[in-house]
Amino acid sequence: MERLIQEYAEDHIRTGRWTREEGPTEARKEVERLLPQGLRTPGHYLLSIVTSPGEERVGELWLAAAPSEGPRRGFIYDLLVYAPFRRKGYAREGMLALEEFAREKGMTSLGLHVFAHNSGARALYELLGYRTTDLVMVKDLPHPSSPPK
Ligand SMILES: CC(C)(COP(=O)(O)OP(=O)(O)OC[C@H]1O[C@@H](n2cnc3c(N)ncnc32)[C@H](O)[C@@H]1OP(=O)(O)O)[C@@H](O)C(=O)NCCC(=O)NCCS
């Protein structure tokens, strides 16, 4: 939870949604709203990616039903492969295993959000067959007294 809150805050500070001061508090509120019972929140699956053989933990996945998108759409809230284990195919394998897991839960499609600046994750999702359905666009409005760039 602490790792999620910290990363969630960083990502949204980076996009300009929250200031550095408000980021940690706002991120905590949002993560706690999503997971009111922590790991035991019904309908949320907080999973580890482990090696085979060896069962070493190399990353994490968080899947939940996305009722606002229809009862059979799953939503991937988080994917993380720990830094020393990256570019070895663990995310790809983990995401493919997650598809099976989601099917067993009755889900017929999976959605996710990825920041535009996360080119590595975007490349991975495209490789796995995810397509873009929405684009969110932002323009900064500098104070009129700031010199033009
Ligand atoms: C994104 C992330 C999960 C990828 O995990 P990974 O285990 O390194 O990914 P894989 O080894 O399975 O990569 C499979 C393919 O995806 C693409 N890919 C993955 N990471 C990439 C990167 N940093 N840059 C470019 N392409 C990348 C490549 O095509 C790669 O195949 P290749 O290594 O044969 O070129 C990992 O970098 C991570 O945890 N990042 C921080 C958290 C994060 O951004 N999560 C996603 C939130 S939406």
From the CB of 121, is ligand 1 less than 6 Å away? yes
Indicate which atom in ligand 1 lies nearest the CA of residue 78: 47
Structure tokens at 54: 């060896």
What are 26-83's pLDDT values in tens digits? Answer: 999 999 999 999 889 999 999 999 998 889 999 999 999 877 777 799 999 999 999 9
> Which of 51, 54, 74, 70 is closest to 62 using CA atoms?
74
Tell me, what CATH number does 92's domain have?
A: 3.40.630.30
Task: Mark whether 103 and 82 lie in a shared domain.
Answer: yes
Task: Mark whether 87 and 117 lie in a shared domain.
Answer: yes
Pairwise CA distance, residues 69 & 82, whole Å: 30
What is the domain range of residue 43? 38-134
pLDDT range class, residue 140, cuts 50, 70, 90:
confident
Task: Assess if residue 90 is contained within a domain.
Answer: yes
Question: What is the rounded end-to-end Cα distance, in angstroms, of the chain?
Answer: 40
User: For the chain, how many structural domains are there in total?
Assistant: 2
Closest residue to atom 15 of ligand 1, CA basis: 124
Task: Mark whether 50 and 80 lie in a shared domain.
Answer: yes
Task: Mark whether 77 and 117 lie in a shared domain.
Answer: yes
Write a three-state SS string for 9-74: HHHHHHHCCCCCCCHHHHHHHHHHHHCCCHHHCCCEEEEEEECCCCCCEEEEEEEEECHHHCCCEE
pTM (predicted TM-score): 0.90
Mutate to test the pocket of ligand 1, among 3, 77, 87 (most ligand atoms within 8 A of CB): 87
Pairwise CA distance, residues 139 & 147, whole Å: 17
Closest residue to atom 48 of ligand 1, CA basis: 114
Task: Mark whether 25 and 73 lie in a shared domain.
Answer: no
What are 117-139's pLDDT values in tens digits? Answer: 899 999 999 999 999 999 999 89
